[in-house]
Amino acid sequence: MRRLVGPAAIALTASVLLGACSSPSAYCQLVEDDQKALDSFGEQRTTKAFTADAKRFRQIADLAPASVADDWTRLAEVTERVLAAHEKSGLTLEDAQDPAVLAETDSDDLDRVNKAYVKFNATSKERAAVVKNVSDECDIDLK
C-alpha cells in the first residue's frame, strides 16, 4: 500500500503545481479584465472616466509587484489630482472642453486645472514602467 501512495502523491503534487503555474495572478487577472479601459486611459475626458481610472489604478497598485506598485499609485494620484482641481474650480472635465465655459472661468481656477494636467501628462516614465511590467509579468500588451 505504501508504494501506491508515493506515486499518487507525486502525481497529485505535480498537478497542483502545474495548475498553479498556468492560472494568472490576481494582478494579471485584474489587468486583463481592465485591459480595454487601460488601453484607452485618458482618452475620455469625463469625470466618470477619470474617477473609474483612479479607482482602477488603486486596485491594481494593491495587487501589483513591488517593482511597479508605486508607478500604479502615481497614476492614481495624478488622476485624482485632476479630479480634485476640477472640483475645486467648479469646472467639470466635460465643461473644460467647452470654450464658452472656459472663457467664463476664473484664471486662478484655470491655472489650478492646468497644473494638475501638467503633472498628469508628466507620467510617461510610470506609464512605460507599467506597460513593460504587464508585458513581462502577464504577457499582456497594453497600448
The pLDDT confidence band at residue 44, using thresholds 50, 70 and 90, is confident
Rg (CA), the chain: 22
User: Whole-structure pTM over 0.85, yes or no?
Assistant: no
pLDDT in tens, 74-118: 999 999 999 999 999 999 999 888 999 989 999 999 999 999 999
Give the CA angle between residues 136, 140, 143 to the nearest 5°: 105
